[in-house]
Structure 1
Amino acid sequence: MEAKNKYYSQKPGPIGVFDSGYGGLTIFDKIRSVMPDYDYIYLGDNARTPYGTRSFEVVYQFTRQAVMKLFEEGCRLVILACNTASAKALRTIQQRDLPGWDAERRVLGVIRPTVELMDTISKTKHIGILGTNGTISSGSYTMEIGKMFPHIKVTGEACPMWVPLVENNEFDSPGADYFVKKHLEHVLSADPEIDTLVLGCTHYPLLINKIEANLPKGITLFSQGEYVAKSLQDYLRRHSEMDARLTKEGRSRFLTTESAEKFSEAASLFLSDTIQVEQISIDR
């Protein structure tokens, strides 16, 4: 994988969007709404989800395989629409792998576009991050916010049951109320001055009705999709050389490492249209 021309086409290609499962579709949907003319390939590693409980090394290896697959499919730019992958794998892929693969390709995450807005949104400068075990234990949000806005206090809350609730279509069930209320009470008791809560996992927007119902007044709930989409749009505006490497025919492909039928059915929870899905393997 060292000689770029041997492995990866240098022709213009689609934008790749990667997630460990279905949750990244909430990011993809917003990106496609803001930038409908571009071509996209969405890849969900559903066979190996969830990533949230896995080690740094395993998440890195899985994410690396997914990025390589999207590059092989012609993508010149890949978005890690997964907070855990962004937290545990993005920096290593950018610094260690990209220079050897192809220095003109890019891999971007969802954490930085979120962090950039925190100082504007929070008035008390006390922020809570709701995420998977992997995202919270990585400390990525705390570190990134600390670098950019050292005056902001960050409190992380791992919500391990929230992703299974969404993936098993239980996000609107009475049982979901217990787990939502439990973690909201915990993070707000840890820091009563919090006025902004970040949904630091792409699955969590499907729980937004439950979260809002259990959230005290005066607290802003920050969902990433819209802001990541606008950040990407701005990035391409500032990097015309990358924009020129992207195809624009309004097409979308969907890949999964699990059952294509199962993915297609679950995707209806996240997208408004019916999609065709291809099952692939990236484990190598």
Structure 2
Amino acid sequence: MSKQGAIGVFDSGYGGLTVLKEIVESLPQYDYLYLGDNARAPYGTRSFTTVYEYTLQCVKWFFQQGCPLVILACNTASAKALRTIQQNDLVKIDSSKRVLGVIRPTTEIAGSISKTNHIGILGTNGTVQSNSYPMEISKFYPSAKVYQEACPMWVPLIENNEYNLPGADYFVKKHIDHLLAQSNEIDTILLACTHYPLLMDKIKEHVPPGINVVSQGEIVAKSLVEYLQRHPEIDQKLSKNAQISFFTTDSAEDFDSHASAFYGKSVKSTHLAL
């Protein structure tokens, strides 16, 4: 496959595969490169500077492969690195390239889902500490009240294949209870981590009826469809051979053994040394 013109999809590990899955379903004709920086995951506990440096390094790799457009399918990278890359780095590297994240598409519709204007956020430490969701939601829905809860154990549970086991229930219930204790008016919960859809069944078991639990994959995919319709100049630069290549900075064998849980089908990845 020619890497020229593919859409780049980046995550610190596996979670972005849940977003890629939805994007491919909506836009199957395009070529995609997926990169999981598994060797340096998780990003959620790392500093702003470290996440920015790692993310920029990976974005530059996508550009070197000829990708005109890169999607940061990682909430932590979107929260801690996207704005700086968009405002400072693209001008220096190539102003014709585009880098998009997952936070803005989600926050654009959050207020339209909630009837009470009370929205809960479940995310990693990094995403919660960045306050990106409250800030972005307030731009679109100034009257909305946003409540956050960091769930540091959820990603390790998922990546160690413990998410379907009884032990996961304790950590799922604990953080949902902490979030809902902040307000009894919360009627919408955003899963602000691309790993969390794998916990959806358990999350719904511990969330009271009437509360919407929203994952990002479909939202980001729909937003990308609309973005490419609005920006034909970007769409024209994208190759359309319906081919997908997967890369990981850690063991390809290990990546492949975990990836199917996120992507919904088996994948064959290539190790990348950055």
Q: Match for 1:131: what amino acid?
A: G
CA–CA distance in structure 2, aligned partners of residues 21 and 265 of structure 1: 13
2:164 equivalent in structure 1: 172
- 2:214 pairs with one of 222, 225, 232: 222
CA contact (8 A) 1:27 1:202 kept: yes
Out of 57, 72, 76, which is 2:64 matched to? 72
Taking the aligned partners of 1:203 and 1:64, their CA distance within structure 2 comes to: 21
Q: Are the equivalent residues in 1 in contact too, given 2:10–2:73 (CA < 8 A)? A: yes
1:140-179 correspondence runs (5 A): 140-179=132-171
In the TM superposition, residue 272 of structure 1 has moved relative to its aligned partner by 2.9
Cα distance between partner residues in 2 of 1:98 and 1:65: 13
Kept in 2, the 8 Å contact 1:45–1:258? The answer is yes
Paired letter, 2:224: L
* 1:30-82 Cα shifts (integer Å, max 9, x gaps): 00010000000000000000000000000000000010011111111000000
1:231-246 aligned at under 5 Å gives the runs 231-246=223-238
Deviations 1:135-165 (A, max 9, x none): 0000000110112211000001000000000
Match of 1:48 in 2: 40
Q: Which whole-Å CA distance do the structure 2 matches of 1:95 and 1:249 have between them?
A: 31
Which segments of 5 or more consecutive residues in structure 1 lack a partner in the other structure? 1-10
Structure 2, unmatched stretches of 5+, are: none
**Match for 2:82 among 71, 85, 90?**
90
Conservation of the 8 A alpha-carbon contact between 1:81 and 1:110: yes
Q: TM-score, normalised by structure 2?
A: 0.98
Q: Secondary structure at the match of 1:50?
A: coil
Structure 2 distance, partners of 1:70, 1:129, is 30
Q: CA RMSD in A?
A: 0.9
Superposition pairs of residues 112-151 of structure 1, within 5 angstroms: 112-151=104-143
Q: Secondary structure at the match of 2:35?
A: strand
* Moved >6 Å (runs of 4+): none
2-structure distance, mates of 1:65, 1:98: 13
1:253-272 deviation digits (Å, cap 9, x = unpaired): 00000000000111111123
Equivalent residue runs for 1:201-212 within 5 Å: 201-212=193-204
Q: Distance in 1 between matches of 2:266 and 2:172?
A: 30
Instruction: Answer whether contact 2:23 2:217 (CA < 8 A) is retained.
Output: yes
Task: Report how many residues are paired.
Answer: 272
Question: Counterparts of 2:194 and 2:264 in 1: how far apart (Å)?
Answer: 17
Shift of 1:118: 1.3
Residue 14 (structure 2) pairs with residue 28 (structure 1): no
Letter of the 1:252 partner, please give it. I
Corresponding letter in the other structure for 1:44 = G
